Structure 1
């Protein structure tokens, strides 16, 4: 007796059955959790349209050698200050370095 397994896909939003060629897998992260959706082209497009305004103003986190380049990635403040001064950026000798300067430093050294 032979056995055959069949995988049937369904749109996670409206439960519509989908053929494999109709399937659009959407992956995203929100507040530290990763998500995945199986959607039809129509619902995938609705999702893209809905998040588009947020993506337009968001900062993209790009992987670096040590992990992700975000405000939690440790940097040597002395090196950042020296680099900023060389680039003509205003940075105080002491205290917190503005995120924009840290981000620019990380981008320049990625």
Structure 2
């Protein structure tokens, strides 16, 4: 069965039909408002005197459709994780702290033992 999804924008200012979503920021907060072309023009015209004296501090925002950055694997994920290496080192009489970085010597010994 086919489905059709229809998004109908309603003007957030006057309740009529909206033609576009306008994004803007003020005092560190970001806003979006759905407006008709006429109301969007009024908003832009109202802000124009202020914008002509303002500094632009960034480019356009990325669209929501942009893919998020790939997650970096955690040091505690999978074989050879920090916790695995730490446990192995303690079981084998090596000196290793309970927190922080693991020395390259301990990491190397673990990798050689598990190759």
TM-score, normalised via structure 2 length: 0.45
Instruction: Return the structure number with greater strand share.
Output: 1
Q: Which has the higher contact order (CA 8 A, sep 6+)?
A: 1
TM-score, normalised via structure 1 length: 0.47
Rg larger in structure: 2
